[in-house]
């Protein structure tokens, strides 16, 4: 992105030498600016998708019944902490963190299944 921005600002002035048509340079500058704008649009779409996904993950975690499981999932999947750091933050050993994670994933699975069933029932009622 920075490279494209630098190219879009790049211009050199030559006061001597032979005159050549500047048409190609203008097209090149336009192409660079267009590529920069397209890259920024792609980046913004990816950021929006990331934010939406993170919000969906947070909403799913919020529905997990057990507070310790919720905390573990938030540390790991929202705060992106390493397992050793998750265990340290929760003041538990790594082995217990693994067992708690298994329990948390089972709860997430239940939440997702329930959400899917409710969604199916909603679409059946509308039809």
pLDDT in tens, 31-86: 889 999 999 999 999 999 999 999 999 999 999 999 999 999 999 999 999 999 99
Give the alpha-carbon dihedral of 79, 108, 48, 122, to 10 degrees.
Answer: -160
pLDDT of 92 over the 70 cut = yes
User: Do residues 67 and 18 share a domain?
Assistant: no
Pair (67, 127) in one structural domain: yes
- Considering the domain architecture, whether residues 46 and 102 belong to the same structural domain is answered as no
Question: By residue range, what is the domain housing residue 19?
Answer: 1-55
Identify whether residues 68 and 121 lie together within a single domain. Answer: yes
Closest-CA residue to 36 (of 64, 72, 8, 70): 8
Query: Residue 83 is part of a domain; what is its CATH number?
Result: 1.10.10
Q: Are residues 67 and 125 in the same domain?
A: yes
Q: Are residues 87 and 124 in the same domain?
A: yes
Q: How many domains does the chain have?
A: 2
Asked if residue 67 and residue 126 are part of one domain, the reply reads yes
Backbone dihedral angles phi then psi of residue 125, each to the nearest 5 degrees? -65, -40
Q: Alpha carbon of 105 to those of 21, 66, 120: distances in Å?
A: 65, 11, 22
49 and 73 co-located in one domain: no
Looking at the fold, whether 24 and 40 belong to one and the same domain comes out as yes
Is the pTM value of this prediction over 0.75?
no
């Amino acid at each position: 992105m920075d490279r494209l921005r630098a190219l879009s600002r790049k211009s050199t002035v030559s006061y001597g030498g032979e005159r050549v048509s500047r048409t190609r340079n203008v097209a090149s500058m336009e192409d660079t600016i267009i590529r920069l704008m397209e890259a920024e649009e792609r980046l913004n779409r990816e950021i929006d998708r990331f934010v939406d996904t993170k919000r969906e993950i947070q909403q799913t975690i919020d529905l997990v019944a057990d507070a310790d499981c919720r905390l573990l999932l938030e540390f790991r999947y929202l705060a992106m902490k390493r397992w050793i750091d998750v265990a340290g933050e929760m003041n538990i050993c790594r082995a217990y963190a693994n067992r708690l994670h298994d329990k948390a994933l089972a709860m997430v699975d239940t939440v997702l299944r329930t959400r899917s069933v409710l969604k199916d029932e909603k679409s059946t009622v509308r039809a």
